Amino acid sequence: MPGDAVRGLRTYDGRQPVLAVIDSNPSTSAVLVMLGQQFGCRVIASRSVEDALALLRQENAVDLVAIDLAIPDMDPYVAAQLVRILDKDSALPIVAIADAETMTDALGARGACFDQAVAKPYSPRELYGAFETALIHAAQPALPLS
């Protein structure tokens, strides 16, 4: 982001985050990959949920997932739940990338499926903020139930 002093994203233990992007549209996927790299992430991208799940099974150190809600091959909420099942401690943060029309649904599902949601068109700063907040919340221990 030229002229913008944005520090690189880091995990709670100071590592470079690994971002998994799930987006079927080559143009928007390329933007997410480019911005993720500019934010200091190592990025792996998939054009389908099935491919993403296979990658996530192989890649044991994913720190953050971004899912475009317009993915055609699977309901994005089911996809988010499947990603969570793959994560052993269920703390893997998932950010929804939504069109303006689906943003209300994404925000409503935040507690169940997504940690953050960003509406398209988004600014790099908005996306960075969502990624940063999701990583920070993932680092915080869950409160005991009793």
**Contact in structure between 22 and 68 (CB atoms under 8 Å):** yes
- For 35-82, how does the pLDDT look when each residue is reduced to its tens digit (9 = 90+)? 999 999 999 999 999 999 998 888 768 999 999 999 999 988 899 989
Nearest to 23 by CA among 79, 102, 93, 84: 79
135 confidence band (pLDDT: 50, 70, 90): very high
Confidence of residue 25 (pLDDT cuts 50, 70, 90): very high
pLDDT for the residue numbered 91 = 79
Backbone angles phi, psi at 52, to 5 degrees: -65, -45
Q: How much of the chain, in percent, has pLDDT values that exceed 90? A: 54
For residue 92, the one-letter residue type is L
pLDDT band at 2 (very low <50, low <70, confident <90, very high): very low
pLDDT higher than 70, residue 4: no
List phi, psi (to 5°) of 94.
-125, 130
The answer, yes or no, to whether residue 146 has pLDDT greater than 80, is no
SS3 state of residue 61 = coil
Pairwise pLDDT comparison (122 vs 139), residue with the higher score: 122
What are 70-119's pLDDT values in tens digits? Answer: 999 998 889 998 998 887 666 789 999 988 776 666 566 555 688 899 99
**Domains in the chain, CATH or no CATH each:** 18-138 (3.40.50.2300)
Return the ∠ at Cα 24 (arms to 6 and 111), rounded to 5°.
Answer: 65
The residue among 38 and 6 whose pLDDT is bigger is 38
DSSP conformation class of 8:
P
Per-residue tokens: 21: 């992007």
